[in-house]
Amino acid sequence: MATPQMAISVIPEEYSLVKTDGYGRRFARKIKSSSFVWSPKPVILTEQSLQGWNTERNAWMLTTSEGSQPVCKFEGLETESLKRAMAQAINHFATTGEPCFLGVAGGNSLERWFCAIAHNPPAGKATGDVCPWLS
């Protein structure tokens, strides 16, 4: 008898897009999860994703089996528990090779960024028209 797959999702209620203006001032714009766009097809994370943490940038770069390298800036995840959960989810998907979907906030490119990860995107949520690492 097969063991049921554990559904893993890290979908913050809000993600803070941190930007810098032309004068070097930083500001954050909160994007609600209901506005996230999800990859239209699942991606497979490679084991190289396990080494994707960059302390200087406070960001995690994934490597997909198709070769793209989307990044999650952890400064936008507002709690330490969300940051830990995201790291654990990345570790799970990169170790097991199970497919996952990536969510992105604020109209950002699915090719370059992500802020949510799940076995399945929430029902009824928008998916991107183009998922470059799957084309």
Q: What is the DSSP track for 103-121? A: EE-TT--TTTB-SEEESSP
3 part of a folded domain: no
135 part of a folded domain: no
92 part of a folded domain: yes
The 10s digit of each residue's pLDDT in 60-70 is 999 999 888 99
133 part of a folded domain: no
Provide the residue range defining the domain that includes 104: 9-128
Per the structure block, which two tokens stand in for 20? 């810098």
pTM for this entry: 0.81
- 85/7: higher pLDDT: 85
Taking the C-alpha atoms of residue 110 and residue 66, their distance in angstroms, rounded to an integer, is 13
1 part of a folded domain: no
Can you give the CATH number for the domain in which 48 is found?
2.40.50
Amino acid making up residue 16: S
34, pLDDT greater than 70: yes
- Count how many domains the chain has: 1
- 23/45: higher pLDDT: 45
Taking the C-alpha atoms of residue 82 and residue 71, their distance in angstroms, rounded to an integer, is 16
Mean pLDDT of the chain: 83
